[in-house]
Amino acid sequence: MLEISHNQSLKPYNTFGIDVRARLFCEIIAEKQLNELMQEPEFDRYPLLLLGGGSNILFTDDVDGLVVKISTKGRKIISENSETVLVRAEAGENWDDFVAWSLEQGFSGLENLSLIPGNVGSSPIQNIGAYGVELKDRVEEVEIIYLANANRQILQNKDCRFGYRDSIFKHELKGKAVIIAVTFKLRKSPELYLEYGAISRELAEMGIQHPAPVDVRDAVCRIRRNKLPDPTVLGNAGSFFKNPTISAVAFAHLSGKFSDIPSFHQEKGTFKLAAGWLIEQCGWKGARHGDVGVHSSQALVLVNYGTATGNQILKLANEIQESVAMKFGVELEMEVNIL
């Protein structure tokens, strides 16, 4: 049965652990409940906020509207041949649990994306990525339901307009559609992506010379656990800022002043910089003010040590942006959604 609660605390539903409240709250565990919710008077009466795993959001105030948490579960094989398989996962599936399950079935392709917090339904919105692999490289199609008329549509990969931490779901479809399932194209014969040095070094330390996909997952998990705080222990939303991309001219100027600046050559002659390095060079790594701070092992991660508010975390983020702009002339863009 569909239940709508009032004055609901959202602290358990965001990985920063920010204690704000929603005027109305509803958790969807079956797709039919979403259709029921669309018939409720509250659905049209109040602003709507769709919530997945709450791992990429910073609440700065109470939500004066209806928060709908998508918690549908389910995963199944759609089709397969000798080389590839299409696997469909419901939006409410925990992302890392799904990655682990896919590897248990003998399907590779998602191992580099291990231990990223959040749910399957949120993953295309952000086009999550790590260690040289982005979600767009593995998505076959995304199923959505339009909130205005409950119409269902299947978007092919090209229709999602994936970009660096970007997609159509952050633009034209923002607030207009809900993702209900994602279908992934995975491989039965692995093609491992080990270009990022951190993975190769970790595998070497593990004594593995001929890695299988599960070994890559183990290496990625080890790296992330060593560098990133567990949000169930210390409130955070993972990387708070995007890695900035600058022109070749701007990079030539910067590298002339900072010869050790890490960079990755991109298409069209641009260069991607490591936001964490920029932040660390400005002296922020490990900084703490009360219950808000920058993680001691990864400067990209802002943390809530206990009772920090969203506005306190946002203030720190703004100060970091200002200092990086002043020192390097580079604008940092927030990866986390601010509400």
Instruction: Give the three-class secondary structure for 214.
Output: helix
pLDDT digits (tens, 9 = 90+) for 202-217: 999 999 989 999 999 9
- Please report, for the chain, the start and end positions of each structural domain, with discontinuous segments joined by +: 5-70, 75-187, 235-338
Tell me if residue 79 is catalytic. no
Topology of the domain comprising 235-338: 3.90.78
| 66: nearest Cα among 139, 2, 134, 123 | 2
Let me know if 270 is exposed, middle or buried by CB neighbors in 10 A (0-12, 13-18, 19+). middle
Q: Looking at residue 166, what DSSP letter applies?
A: B
Residue 29 region by backbone torsions, left for phi larger than 0, else alpha for psi between -120 and 50, else beta:
alpha
Tell me if residue 335 is catalytic. yes
For the entire predicted model, the pTM comes to 0.85
Catalytic site residue from 88, 138, 165, 217: 165
pLDDT digits (tens, 9 = 90+) for 150-171: 899 999 999 999 998 889 999 9
For residue 196, the model assigns a pLDDT of 77
Tell me if residue 165 is catalytic. yes
pLDDT digits (tens, 9 = 90+) for 258-313: 888 988 888 778 988 999 999 999 999 999 999 999 999 899 999 999 999 999 99
Cα–Cα distance, 67 to 59 (Å, whole number): 12
So what's the architecture of 5-70 in CATH? 2-Layer Sandwich (3.30)
Interaxial angle between packed helices 197-205 and 213-227, expressed in degrees from 0 to 180 and rounded to the nearest 10: 100
CA-based max dimension of the chain: 63
Catalytic site residue from 55, 102, 167, 239: 239
Contact yes or no for 114/127 (Cβ under 8 A): no
Topology of the domain comprising 75-187: 3.30.465
pLDDT at 197 over 80: no
